[in-house]
Copies of this chain bind each other. A is one copy, B any other.
Amino acid sequence: MTRVAVAQLPLRVGEPEANRAAAEAAIREAAEAGARLVVLPELVNSGYVFTGAEEARSLAEPADGPTVTAWRRLARDRDLVIVGGFCEVAGGAVRNSQVMVDATGTRAVYRKAHLWHDEQDVFTPGDGPAPVVGTALGRIGMMVCYDLEFPEWVRSVGLAGADLLAVSTNWPASPVPEGERPVLVAYAQIAAAANHMFVAVADRCGAERGVDWVCGTSLIGPDGYPLAGPVLRDGPAVLVADCDLTHARNKASGPRNDVHRDRRTDLYWKEERTS
């Protein structure tokens, strides 16, 4: 059984030291609660609502910069796996990146492949796969925000054997009909159910330059139902839940069905394969 934490953080654009402190406090809180895996939001160091590419570049740091270095230190000291988003500069390009660190150091850096809205002016999109990393806790997949809205991308992580998909996000709020759960949370539920894996979503809180957030921090089980959250309340939160990650290795959706084996790959992508 692995205790997993998802942290909803009130970040402030352009205040990296305050943001690093908020993340560090949440990581410590999660560790005190017994968590071994901690998932943090998107762009933790920088905030999200940039005035433009210049501001983003001014806030970007390399993957061995102060933010990731702090997370590596915490991961080593507390024997944690930490997955979080950060504004990265690498080879001159500014990236919307996500890092995984554990007691041994940096395990993976992923660059968001699907860019939302004005991110297209700011970031170079990733051109590599969404990683699935074998850790001491299990196989952990990585993905950032809008990536989750592409079932092909989610499936790639599921098929690569992820027990848990860690999603770092800043979900901008949009109108939700009375009595409905925000549809972005349903994306996380179906990502989990369709692949029989855990999905851990760390979202933002705290309005930033007029943008509110879904505050959809949640931990979803392989059946698609929440084990913790969604928070849906604008304030910091660290949720924990105990997950038997080995459950995600069994893809049975019934006595005679299997969410991966039942795929009709003989019928999919016919047009796209020939194009």
B118–A225 CB distance below 8 A: no
Stretch of A50-58, A72-80, A179-187 at the chain-chain interface? A179-187
Q: Mark A116-137, 1 if CB is under 8 A from B, else 0.
A: 1110100001011100000000
Residue of B nearest to A172 (CB): B254
Q: Mark A150-182, 1 if CB is under 8 A from B, else 0.
A: 111111100110000000000000001100110
Question: In angstroms, how far is the closest chain B Cβ from the Cβ of A70?
Answer: 31
Question: In angstroms, how far is the closest chain B Cβ from the Cβ of A256?
Answer: 5
A117–B254 CB distance below 8 A: yes
Question: In angstroms, how far is the closest chain B Cβ from the Cβ of A249?
Answer: 19
B150–A152 CB distance below 8 A: no
A118–B268 CB distance below 8 A: no
Residue of B nearest to A120 (CB): B256
How many copies the complex holds: the figure is 2
A223–B183 CB distance below 8 A: yes
Complex CA gap A181/B253 in Å reads 18
Complex CA gap A164/B253 in Å reads 27
Q: Which of B149, B176, B225, B267 contacts A183 (CB 8 A)?
A: B225
Q: Mark A88-122, 1 if CB is under 8 A from B, else 0.
A: 00000000000000000000000001101110100
Complex CA gap A150/B256 in Å reads 16
Decide yes or no whether A32 CB sits under 8 A from chain B: no
Question: In angstroms, how far is the closest chain B Cβ from the Cβ of A223?
Answer: 7
A267–B113 CB distance below 8 A: yes
Q: Cβ of A146: which chain B residues have Cβ within 8 Å of it?
A: 257, 262
Q: Which of B117, B155, B159, B263 contacts A256 (CB 8 A)?
A: B117
Q: Cβ of A159: which chain B residues have Cβ within 8 Å of it?
A: 271-272
Decide yes or no whether A22 CB sits under 8 A from chain B: no
Stretch of A2-10, A189-197, A204-212 at the chain-chain interface? A189-197
Q: Cβ of A176: which chain B residues have Cβ within 8 Å of it?
A: 225
A256–B118 CB distance below 8 A: yes
Question: In angstroms, how far is the closest chain B Cβ from the Cβ of A226?
Answer: 8
Question: In angstroms, how far is the closest chain B Cβ from the Cβ of A247?
Answer: 16
Complex CA gap A114/B128 in Å reads 31
B149–A194 CB distance below 8 A: yes
What are 24 A-B pairs with beta-carbon distances under 8 A? A113-B264, A116-B254, A116-B257, A117-B255, A120-B256, A125-B264, A127-B266, A128-B267, A129-B267, A149-B193, A151-B155, A152-B269, A153-B267, A156-B269, A156-B271, A177-B225, A180-B225, A180-B226, A183-B189, A183-B190, A183-B193, A186-B190, A190-B190, A269-B269
